[in-house]
Amino acid sequence: MALQSLRGTTDLLPEDVKRWTTVEQTARRLARAYGYEEVRTPLIEDAAVFLRSVGETTDIVQKEMFRFEDRGGQDIVLRPEGTASIVRAYLEHHLHKTHGFVKLFYLGPMFRAERPQAGRFRQFHQYGVEAIGSASPWVDVETIVLCVEILRACGVSDLSVWLSTMGCRDDQHATSATLRKQLEPYKDTLCKECQARFDRNVFRVLDCKNPSCQAIVREHVRPLKPRAGFPPTPFQLCDACAAHFDEVRKGLREANAPFDDTQVFARGLDYYTRTVFEVRAKGLGAQDAVAAGGRYDHLVEEFGGPPTGAVGFAAGIERVLMAAKDVQSPGAPDQHRRGVYLAVLKPDFTGLAFLMAQVLRKSGVTALIDFEGRSLKAQFREADRMQARWIGILGEKEASEKSVTVKDLEQGTQEMVSIEDFLKQMTQEAGAPA
Ligand code: HAM
């Protein structure tokens, strides 16, 4: 039987990688402009990292983690997300002692054993940021603005930012009791999963995708003491959390950032407190969240560190690319021809071509050589396929005169120049902006 990639995983072929690289570079460039520094954490972690952060009753931990025991009996998972690993690394390397406020950027594969469908994969990729060490609502504002700016720069223009607050831990305790009371009469009409969620972790009912559960939530879930003029939220908020949310919304307005605070939703990971947001893009179907994030002011403490405010987001690169698909974005393949194809007319000249290619490559010029003894015509075809800008032809005449015939595929010109001049010219051209 032919071997195939696993369901929910994807091979990225060269054309895909070009688009991916553009998204990765855009995210990296903008994150750097906002003061984030890149970190890389392992793909495998001790299961406890996610049990204690994402939460034992969440869907991710209950049924979506790729989890196994290694030969030494250690409980290991393929990371399902980045935030918990970043906080573990932050504490393990004492960044809380050496830096007051740390801004970390990351990018890489995540793994969730979900049922694959359009936009939902078992290995998917995120870029994300975590700002650890501040409780300022302005950091929430900056995080959301950066999230939107990267998406727009990648060509995702038709988006909406759902914004809400989940209050502090005390607010969440009060709210879960209220939620149970309000949902109890409708418990039997909730979907099977929500009936289980009702006992395990009632907040999960708020983010159920089932339309009839959503209707029950919409009609019957209310905060006991709604605040006048406050956006709809099922959360019972203390004064400090309500004020924080007001500041975030005010800041976003001052920053001219888009947001919609009329949606009732909760995030499906346990570590969130206060601000939460999800960015939805048009045209993605059921899996329309391209990015999501929020505050997690207790996580550092829950991992054994000091009380530390923190906020971040992650975006799914596959979904960013799906949402940016039809837009003329920086993700479009490179239109420019680049580099040199060294066409060798006799195998004897391969060594010389190889040395020339090495000189060019050291200066950052892409250099390709034919090792197959193909006809000149076939080598031209290959140079064209590889989008080379120049072909350097090495035949008897050229070798005897220590020269190269250079064909410029963009300009359609051809001339014979000395090898020395050829190398100089190519190196200079490569340094010139495309
Ligand atoms: P999340 O909502 O689980 O949050 O994931 C963030 C984004 O990753 C989603 O909006 C989506 O674009 C993408 N994503 C998630 N699961 C899949 C999947 N199975 N297939 C394809 N894409 C997927 C987090 O992961 C949090 N760590 C975000 C965060 C950072 N909060 C604070 N800091």
Residue-wise pLDDT for 263-300, tens only, equals 888 898 999 999 999 999 988 888 889 999 999 999 99
Compute, in angstroms, the gap from residue 106 CA to the centroid of ligand 1: 13
Residue 109 CB neighbours (<10 A): 14
Residue 405 CB neighbours (<10 A): 18
Distance CA 148, CA 144 (A): 6
**DSSP structure string for 413-431:** EEEEEEHHHHHHHHHHHHH
Compute, in angstroms, the gap from residue 316 CA to the centroid of ligand 1: 6
The tally of CA atoms less than 13 A away on the side-chain side of residue 313 is 30
What pLDDT was estimated at residue 432?
A: 56
Helix (H) or strand (E) holding 303: none
Query: Which atom of ligand 1 approaches the CA of 82 most closely?
Result: 27
Helices (H), 160-269: 169-183, 192-200, 203-206, 211-220, 239-254
Pocket test for ligand 1, best of 110, 284, 308 (most atoms within 8 A of CB): 110
> Alpha carbon 325 to chain centroid distance?
16
Q: What is the DSSP letter of 263?
A: -
Distance CA 158, CA 151 (A): 10
The label of the residue with tokens 């993605």 reads: 284
Pocket test for ligand 1, best of 124, 311, 317 (most atoms within 8 A of CB): 124
Rounded (5°) CA angle 274-186-293: 20
Residues whose CB is less than 8 angstroms from the CB of residue 65 and which lie 6 or more positions away in sequence, other chains included? 47, 50, 77, 78, 80, 111, 112, 113
What pLDDT was estimated at residue 242?
A: 96
Distance CA 170, CA 250 (A): 24
What burial class does residue 10 get, using C-beta atoms within 10 Å of its C-beta: 0-12 exposed, 13-18 middle, 19+ buried?
middle
What pLDDT was estimated at residue 335?
A: 61
How far CA 25 is from CA of 30, 100, 127, 267, in Å, comes to: 9, 27, 10, 28
Q: Which residues line ligand 1 (CB under 6 A)?
A: 81-83, 112, 114, 120-121, 124, 126, 128, 130, 289-294, 312-316, 318-319
10-residue mean pLDDT profile of the chain (434 residues): values are: 96 92 96 96 98 91 95 97 98 89 97 95 98 97 97 94 96 92 94 89 87 90 86 92 97 96 89 97 88 98 96 97 67 68 94 94 91 93 92 95 95 96 89 53
How far CA 115 is from CA of 124, 192, 204, 417, in Å, comes to: 13, 17, 18, 60
Query: Which atom of ligand 1 approaches the CA of 130 most closely?
Result: 33
What pLDDT was estimated at residue 434?
A: 44
Query: Which atom of ligand 1 approaches the CA of 279 most closely?
Result: 10
Distance CA 269, CA 65 (A): 13
- Pairing label, strands 289-295, 273-281: antiparallel
- pLDDT digits over 365-423, tens only? 989 998 889 999 999 999 998 889 999 999 999 999 999 999 999 999 999 999 999 99
Helix (H) or strand (E) holding 140: helix 137-153
Nearest CA to 49 out of 71, 72, 65 is that of: 65
Residues whose CB is less than 8 angstroms from the CB of residue 193 and which lie 6 or more positions away in sequence, other chains included? 208, 210
Compute, in angstroms, the gap from residue 82 CA to the centroid of ligand 1: 9
Pocket test for ligand 1, best of 269, 274, 276, 295 (most atoms within 8 A of CB): 269
Query: Which atom of ligand 1 approaches the CA of 122 most closely?
Result: 19
Ligand 1 atom 30 nearest Cα: 313
Distance CA 220, CA 200 (A): 20
pTM of the model: 0.89
Ligand 1 atom 23 nearest Cα: 316
What pLDDT was estimated at residue 325?
A: 65
Ligand 1 atom 2 nearest Cα: 292
Contact 223, 234 (CB under 8 A): yes
Query: Which atom of ligand 1 approaches the CA of 112 most closely?
Result: 19
Compute, in angstroms, the gap from residue 291 CA to the centroid of ligand 1: 6
What pLDDT was estimated at residue 209?
A: 81
Compute, in angstroms, the gap from residue 102 CA to the centroid of ligand 1: 21
Ligand 1 atom 1 nearest Cα: 292
Ligand 1 atom 8 nearest Cα: 316
- Pairing label, strands 289-295, 310-316: antiparallel
Count helices and strands in the chain by DSSP H and E runs: 17, 15
Compute, in angstroms, the gap from residue 269 CA to the centroid of ligand 1: 10
Ligand 1 atom 11 nearest Cα: 316
Q: What is the DSSP letter of 62?
A: I
Compute, in angstroms, the gap from residue 38 CA to the centroid of ligand 1: 18
